[in-house]
Structure 1
Amino acid sequence: MTDAPTSSGSLGASVPSASLEAPPLLRRMACWIYEGMLMFAVVFVAGWLFSSLGQVRSGMDARRPLLQAFLFVVFGIYFTWFWSRGQTLAMKTWNIRVVDRAGLPLTQARALLRYVLSWLWFLPPLVALSPFRLTAGEDAVVIFGWVAVWAVASRFHPQRQFWHDAWAGTRLVTSATARKG
């Protein structure tokens, strides 16, 4: 699959398979951390909107599961929209693009599948921690330990892609602007 040239989009030009190589793990993880920082703004705006429209008066309100579900949907819309256009703001900053296996832009459905599968970064440790009453620090160690394991597991993929990308039929590649420079 990596030996065949692929189409680069509307121009019909051929892109060599070398351009579909995964960016270095350190750059992908830097992008991941930056994306997390940018998500604070999304959480802030979505939380404010939810609290205002739902007239939430306290952080201990019983509607917390509804807020979490609302944030899941908002994140899904955010990532699906940006990924179907090739990159988020963090990905632009780090010259990373998400494409399908052939190097073409993602469809909305494939971007949504990638979003759902990307929760493998967090769900396994959250499920494993749920029966225990650990401190926040202990929870953080388990969660960040899993994130490290999940990131390093990409070294075992033939194209060095994250496993949720492989299962979603997507891949992270170096964007065209980085290849030119």
Structure 2
Amino acid sequence: MRQTQDEPMTDDTVPALPCPLWRRLLALLYDMFAVVAIAAVMGLLCQMATHGQLFDAHGQALTWWFQPLQYLTISAYFLISWLRGGQTLGMRPWRTRVTTPQGGILSWQQALIRLIAAWLPVFLLELQGIVGVRAAVWITLGAWGVWFAVALVDRRSRALHDILAGTEIRRMAS
């Protein structure tokens, strides 16, 4: 049975305690392992589909669809995780969950807003043609730093993408 957005989660694991930033960042670090694995499997499947002709000798993709497919696949991982239980693989060991302010599951709209807002710094990587790869990576990491630094001053420890989506990360009861 699927829970509605306004219903609180019924397993008594989502108290009103906001998740501290350090716990969120460690969960995100765990999720990066899942994202790398997803990207690697998708890259392998795409290489097989193109008979090894996915990249040229300089590492540039020869197809227009490869990078959008990577973004869609990684986005699907986060959306499915948030909509089905509120936890990614990285959130599970750190006992955190993304919820509505009332403790319920996210709506599709909230999940999409959260996803798009969290992805925004990635598009700064497109500056590499102007400032170089190294500088573009540092600019992107700096933007994400600002995104998460907001949690240090928000009374409910929400990052910028949570504020925009109307979501929260909560610690689960031990």
TM-score by length of 1: 0.77
Q: Which runs of 5+ in 1 are unaligned?
A: 1-5
RMSD: 2.4
Aligned-residue offset at 1:116: 1.7
- In the alignment, does 2:22 pair up with 1:23? no
Which segment is superposed worse, 151-160 or 40-49?
151-160
Bigger RCO (CA 8 Å, 6+ sep): 2
Structure that is richer in helix per residue: 1
Which segment is superposed worse, 147-156 or 36-45?
147-156
**Residue type of the partner of 2:153?**
F
TM-score by length of 2: 0.80
How far apart, in 2, do the equivalents of 1:36 and 1:74 lie?
14
3-state DSSP class of the match of 1:90? coil
Write the deviation string for residues 36-91 of structure 1: whole angstroms up to 9, x where unpaired.
Answer: 1221110011111222223342422421x411100111112111111112101100
Partner of 2:3: none
| 1:31-180 correspondence runs (5 A) | 31-60=27-56, 61-63=61-63, 65-85=64-84, 86-123=86-123, 125-127=124-126, 129-134=127-132, 136-175=133-172, 179-180=173-174
Total equivalences in the alignment = 163
How far apart, in 1, do the equivalents of 2:45 and 2:122 lie?
25
**Residue type of the partner of 1:143?**
T
Q: Is the 8 A contact 2:113 2:165 kept in 1?
A: yes
Q: Is the 8 A contact 1:157 1:163 kept in 2?
A: no
3-state DSSP class of the match of 1:9? coil
Aligned-pair identity (%) = 25
